Amino acid sequence: MTDYWDPLIERMPVDELKKVQEEKLVQLVHYVYNHSIFYRKRFDKAGISPDDINSLADITRLPFTTKQDLRDTYPTGMFCVPKKMVVRYHASSGTTGKPTVVGYTQNDINEWTISLARALTSIGIGREDVVQVGYGYGLFTGGLGLHYGAEMVGASAIPTSSGNTERQIELMQDLGSTVIACTPSYFLHMSEVVNKLGINFKDDTELKCGVFGAEPWSQEMRQRIEKQTGIKAYDIFGTSEISGPLFTECTYQDGIHIWADQFLIEVIDPKSGEQLPDGERGELVVTTLVKEALPLIRYRIGDLTVINSEPCKCGRTHPRIMRILGRTDDMIIVRGINVFPGQVEAVLLTIPEVAEHYQLIIDRKGELDTLTVQVEVTKDVFSDKISDLMRLENKVGKSLKTVLNLSAKVELVEPGTIPRSMGKAQRVIDKRKI
């Protein structure tokens, strides 16, 4: 049985949903043109007037916006409301450069929370649940976002934030947390600490699922987490620019539902900027349909994904995005081969002797870029003979080569060697830039 937060909207026939989007898009272009000097200039420069936008198809006539625009107008130059309307600020974590500031009206906070209430309901979270929020509280949107969402569905939120792991586990046991929301890499660390304490999630906690996101993670990582801990691991997606964490998979775990009455998504070819059809992988572009303080038109998020517009088995009609491969700028090019860290993760985790902790180190020897994949092995394997370890190193190297066509030096390292993460894991160390 699937529960809905707002069945009328979540199951709205696709045609009607498109009509809602069209109306909102038409309003939006007038709104931004009339409320922001930035958008007025941008439209004028592109020779486009709000009156030119009358249908969903017209969206391709609108210019893109980018993170660089937010940086150029730092801190609030793209806002469409006076400061007195802003009830909250957050800032991005600055993964790819200078952090950007985002702001919210009261209505923006409500819409953000509604989005999460629908999402959390779609994975069966409700009044009976205790949601431990292990995302960072503060400028990062993860903590407060999940906190408000959990409260809206009537669950109890525990604002542990990230870190202080032993205390987190104690609270998890004492308060009976049924849901943990944190980055997948922090959950890996939490699992290790649970093992060290001589307990396990299945017998010693009431945990039933995890809401994991804020960084790329692979399907293979999901399988490992679910197998090792007995919980369901769900993917959650969002970025500070479009509010924060907003969308999750439903219990079918087959793509992340994007609420079409609030956001209009496209996937484009990152090079040409052309819209791509459903099913083709490209860069995710989002237009916010209901945001007041910082509406974004055709914002190039930079994440690579695929849109699936088929209604889902759960009955929801809103489009889904499939697992994020990474951002366009996460791509590593090693001697002409393009790879994403997530693809390396997927290969590594198909090898049972290899643990979930890894790091990619890029360096330059002379003219040549080199890639070293450091990966931890499980405890049992580490006590094996050196010759066995070398055999395993070869096996990992071969798998990377076969699946990704990537030649990398593989270094197996002792369990616990690679730094653990409290938030977003740093999986790539580029020594060429140090």
| Binding site residues, ligand ADP, CB under 6 A | 92-96, 213-216, 235-237, 239-240, 301, 303, 324, 327
Closer residue to Zn ion (CB): 252 or 382: 252
Closer residue to Zn ion (CB): 78 or 119: 119
Q: Answer with the entry of Zn ion, ligand ADP, none that 356 interacts with (C-beta below 5 to 8 A by kind).
A: none
Map 412-426 to HEC letters. EECCCCCCCCCCCCC
For the record, the structure tokens of 394 come out as 């070869």
Closer residue to ligand ADP (CB): 54 or 223: 223
Question: Which residues make up the interface to Zn ion (CB under 5 A)?
Answer: 250, 252, 312, 314, 316
Q: Answer with the entry of Zn ion, ligand ADP, none that 250 interacts with (C-beta below 5 to 8 A by kind).
A: Zn ion
Cα separations in angstroms, 324 against 219, 273, 301, 304, 305: 10, 19, 11, 6, 5
User: How far is 170 from 271, CA to CA, in rounded Å?
Assistant: 49
Closer residue to ligand ADP (CB): 194 or 214: 214
Residue 133, H or E segment: strand 130-133
Closer residue to ligand ADP (CB): 383 or 426: 426
User: How far is 219 from 252, CA to CA, in rounded Å?
Assistant: 14
Least gap, CB of 128 to ligand ADP (angstroms): 25
Q: Answer with the entry of Zn ion, ligand ADP, none that 370 interacts with (C-beta below 5 to 8 A by kind).
A: none
Closer residue to ligand ADP (CB): 210 or 216: 216
3-state secondary structure of 232: strand
Q: Answer with the entry of ligand ADP, Zn ion, none that 93 interacts with (C-beta below 5 to 8 A by kind).
A: ligand ADP
Judge whether 237 and 246 are in contact, CB under 8 Å: yes
Residue 48 corresponds to which amino acid? I
3-state secondary structure of 91: strand
Residue among 168, 109, 93 nearest 133 (CA)? 168
Q: Answer with the entry of Zn ion, ligand ADP, none that 314 interacts with (C-beta below 5 to 8 A by kind).
A: Zn ion
Least gap, CB of 97 to ligand ADP (angstroms): 8
DSSP 101: E
Residue among 35, 38, 145, 34 nearest 88 (CA)? 145
Least gap, CB of 13 to ligand ADP (angstroms): 28
Least gap, CB of 11 to Zn ion (angstroms): 11
User: How far is 430 from 434, CA to CA, in rounded Å?
Assistant: 7
Angle value at C-alpha 221, between 219 and 223, nearest 5 degrees: 70
Q: Answer with the entry of ligand ADP, Zn ion, none that 266 interacts with (C-beta below 5 to 8 A by kind).
A: none
User: How far is 216 from 280, CA to CA, in rounded Å?
Assistant: 19
* Helices marked H in 230-353: 341-348
User: How far is 301 from 42, CA to CA, in rounded Å?
Assistant: 18
Closer residue to ligand ADP (CB): 291 or 327: 327
Q: Answer with the entry of Zn ion, ligand ADP, none that 55 interacts with (C-beta below 5 to 8 A by kind).
A: none
Q: Answer with the entry of ligand ADP, Zn ion, none that 344 interacts with (C-beta below 5 to 8 A by kind).
A: none
Cα separations in angstroms, 368 against 314, 361, 362: 50, 14, 10
Residue among 160, 223, 157, 219 nearest 190 (CA)? 160
Q: Answer with the entry of Zn ion, ligand ADP, none that 290 interacts with (C-beta below 5 to 8 A by kind).
A: none
Least gap, CB of 114 to Zn ion (angstroms): 17
The strands making up 326-327's β-sheet, listed across from edge to edge, are 263-268, 282-288, 299-305, 326-327
Token pair 């997948």: residue? 184
Least gap, CB of 335 to ligand ADP (angstroms): 25
Least gap, CB of 360 to ligand ADP (angstroms): 16
Least gap, CB of 236 to ligand ADP (angstroms): 6
Cα separations in angstroms, 160 against 66, 143, 164, 207: 33, 9, 9, 15
Closer residue to Zn ion (CB): 314 or 412: 314
Closer residue to ligand ADP (CB): 205 or 288: 288
Closer residue to ligand ADP (CB): 22 or 303: 303
Least gap, CB of 165 to ligand ADP (angstroms): 21
Q: Answer with the entry of ligand ADP, Zn ion, none that 62 interacts with (C-beta below 5 to 8 A by kind).
A: none
Least gap, CB of 301 to ligand ADP (angstroms): 5
